[in-house]
Amino acid sequence: MKFDANNSGRGRLALVAALFLSITVACERKPGTGGAESTTGDIVVGMYGSLTGDGASFGQSSREGTELAVDEINDAGGLLGGRQVKLLVEDDQSKPEEASNAVTKLVTQDKVVAVLGEVASRRSLAAAPVCQKYMIPMISPSSTNERVTEVGDYIFRVCFIDPFQGEVLAKFAYHDLKARKVAILKDIQQDYSVGLTDSIRKHFTALGGQVLDPVSYSSGDSDFKAILTQVRSQKPDAVFATGYYPEAAIIVRQARELGMKMPFLGGDGWVGDALKNGREALNNSYISNHYSGDNPDPVVQNFVRAYRARFNREPDAIAALAYDAVKVLADAITRANSTEGPTLRGALAQADVPGVTGRLRINAQRNVDKPAVIQEVTFANGEVKFVYKTTINPN
């Protein structure tokens, strides 16, 4: 079959133009519907997360935390006079473009009243504009990059942000570990890692320490020995790995294989099942985290007990934050007495509820100011444990 340019060229062009126009029109018409206005039936809430792929541990934990909270609400009689909360979960396969697709589907087809997610800042940043455009509130349980809530006034979060997390890590390394010269390994593909690196650098330098030029890698890399050898030659007192847990595990392991004995530090992105891949090499590492399961506060202990009973494992910080995000949403729906986007948004902006991870008071930037904990990472008998070291409060 031969393509005849003379005959069908113009026709095809017209067709493409028409198609393009119709897509544009279709897209322009939709925004502003502002959520489902129905006042009876289930309240449909959407969650998107990395249930599979590199970030699978994040997705699984947040799904479990979310489900636990939703079931507790439903068992207690639901919201708005007995309406049940129905949770729809979409998998984004740990890919930003899929995150945006998943949220578009939740908002336009499933007509959810609010969206919960994501953990990784890069994927939250990809999906947040969708929620903003359709005026559906989105609550990220654990994306710490400060730009996430800057997307718009419909985007909230229930965790601290990286400028604070970087400060916490820098202070701990300087005061507690007595480090004076540090190296940073950053994952240039992740907004989270890049943001956290900048913050650590700024605060550690402000304290009077020396920060070596950050060394870059990409998500999915598996050979870090070349960059680690360069880091080793500069003899830092401590090394930060600001990326996520899959790479962090291999970085620490290969560093120890190269005879690097100094402490390693990471952010909350280290909390994931695959971290155990680092094995004994993980010893002498520290992370900043959102909550500690060791906290004797009854709110925390009740949550830990319920989670353990249901999922037969210890809840991590990601699960705790996901749980808190649902509680914040439920409180806002109750106060708004509505599931309409703009009304719900207004109620969320004034949220102030006690949570498993601390007091959840939404501030003017739609973030919360919460203390961070420092945990020591230990590995024994095939299991990773996060041992509580100290709590650092925001100024």
Partner 1 sequence: MDTFLQQLINGLSLGAIYALIALGYTMVYGVLRLINFAHGDVYMLGAFAGYFIANALALDANPSILWAILVTISAMAVCAVVGILIERFAYRPVRHHSRLTSLITAIGVSLLLEYGGQVVFGATPRFFPQMVRSETYSLGGVQITNQNLLIIVAAVAMMFGLHFVIHRTKIGTAMRATSYNLSVATLMGINTDFVIAFTFALGSALAAAAGVLVALAIPRIDPLMGLMTGLKAFVAAVLGGIGNIPGAMLGGMLMGLMETGLSATAYSTYRDAVAFGVLILILLVRPAGLLGTARPEKV
Name the minimum Å distance from CB 276 to partner 1. 7
Q: Which of 222, 298, 309, 364 binds partner 1 (CB under 8 A)?
A: 222
Give the helix/strand (H/E) hosting 288.
Answer: strand 285-289
Q: Which of 37, 97, 223, 297 binds partner 1 (CB under 8 A)?
A: 223
* Strand positions, DSSP E, 176-298: 181-187, 210-211, 215-217, 238-241, 264-266, 285-289
Closest to partner 1 by CB, 33 vs 277, is 277
CB 265 within 8 A of CB 243: no
The region of 61-69, 138-146, 209-217, 290-298 touching partner 1 under the rule CB under 8 A is 209-217
Give the helix/strand (H/E) hosting 164.
Answer: helix 162-171
Separation CA 272–CA 250 (nearest Å)? 13
* Three-point CA angle 394, 209, 160, nearest 5°: 25
For residue 229, the one-letter residue type is: T
The region of 98-106, 191-199, 225-233, 301-309 touching partner 1 under the rule CB under 8 A is 225-233
Question: Whose structure tokens read 């929620």?
Answer: 131
The region of 108-116, 222-230, 286-294, 337-345 touching partner 1 under the rule CB under 8 A is 222-230
Terminal-to-terminal C-alpha distance of the chain:
72
Q: Does 277 bind partner 1 (CB under 8 A)?
A: yes
Give the helix/strand (H/E) hosting 28.
Answer: helix 5-29
Site for partner 1 in 43-82 (CB under 8 A): 52-54, 56
Name the minimum Å distance from CB 56 to partner 1. 4
Q: Does 181 bind partner 1 (CB under 8 A)?
A: no
Separation CA 350–CA 334 (nearest Å)? 12
**Number of residues engaging partner 1 in binding (CB under 8 A):** 33
The region of 7-15, 174-182, 271-279, 357-365 touching partner 1 under the rule CB under 8 A is 271-279
Closest to partner 1 by CB, 169 vs 250, is 250
CB 129 within 8 A of CB 118: no
The region of 7-15, 127-135, 162-170, 256-264 touching partner 1 under the rule CB under 8 A is 256-264
Structural tokens at position 264:
């390693």
Name the minimum Å distance from CB 232 to partner 1. 7
Q: Which of 8, 218, 337, 393 binds partner 1 (CB under 8 A)?
A: 218
Residues with Cβ within 8 Å of 267's Cβ and at least 6 positions away in sequence, in order, are: 144, 162, 165, 166, 169, 192, 196, 242, 287, 288
Q: Does 215 bind partner 1 (CB under 8 A)?
A: yes
Q: Establish whether the linkage from the previous residue to 118 is cis, with ω within 30° of 0.
A: yes
The region of 108-116, 156-164, 228-236, 303-311 touching partner 1 under the rule CB under 8 A is 228-236
* Three-point CA angle 362, 59, 335, nearest 5°: 30
Separation CA 325–CA 337 (nearest Å)? 18
Q: Does 380 bind partner 1 (CB under 8 A)?
A: no
Q: Does 97 bind partner 1 (CB under 8 A)?
A: no
Closest to partner 1 by CB, 56 vs 135, is 56
CB 283 within 8 A of CB 23: no
Q: Does 390 bind partner 1 (CB under 8 A)?
A: no
Q: Which of 226, 299, 380, 387 binds partner 1 (CB under 8 A)?
A: 226
For 355, the 3-state DSSP assignment is strand
Residue ranges that bind partner 1, judged by CB under 8 A: 52-54, 56, 93-94, 188, 213, 215-218, 220, 222-223, 225-227, 229-230, 232-233, 246, 250, 256-259, 274, 276-277, 279, 382
